[in-house]
Structure 1
């Protein structure tokens, strides 16, 4: 089983490799892009823990992937930016 620290490190690595500098010069990737780059079933939990540790930030508490349900697509958070604040896992 992969530890929480390894999961957070994986997200940091994805942000460093695939993210783009935002207006503050910090690496940023959208939730939708991150979903496409990771295969974690516990992505939301990992994001919440990393946010609590001050490693990254994003708007909201939990991010939802848009999926078609009963012929309609619910509100999705695919365009919410996830911003890398620190590469150090505390």
Structure 2
């Protein structure tokens, strides 16, 4: 699996599904990404891709682990446009 390619696809999906927050950065709720049909088909392991993007400082979110249902309202913020 090419992690860099997966992360770049994640950035594209954040652009597609996200909106600008008060700071002017693109933001999307974890639940929106997780429940999107296109994302479900695109990513084999969405949470793993999100964690890899956070380690690369491409995105940020509060907490360490994201779980569907529990963390649906967590904002995933794109740090680089």
Q: Which has a greater percent of helix?
A: 2
Alignment of 1:1-90 (within 5 A): 2-37=1-36, 38-39=39-40, 40-66=43-69, 76-87=70-81
Structure 2: state its 5+ residue gaps.
none
Moved over 4 A (4+): none
Instruction: Give ranges in structure 1 of 5+ residues lacking alignment.
Output: 67-75
What TM-score, normalized by structure 2, do the two folds share?
Answer: 0.86
Q: How far did residue 5 of structure 1 move?
A: 1.3
Q: Which has the larger radius of gyration?
A: 1
| Pairwise CA RMSD | 1.2
Per the normalisation by structure 1, the TM-score is 0.78
Aligned mates of 1:47, 1:85 — CA distance in 2 = 13
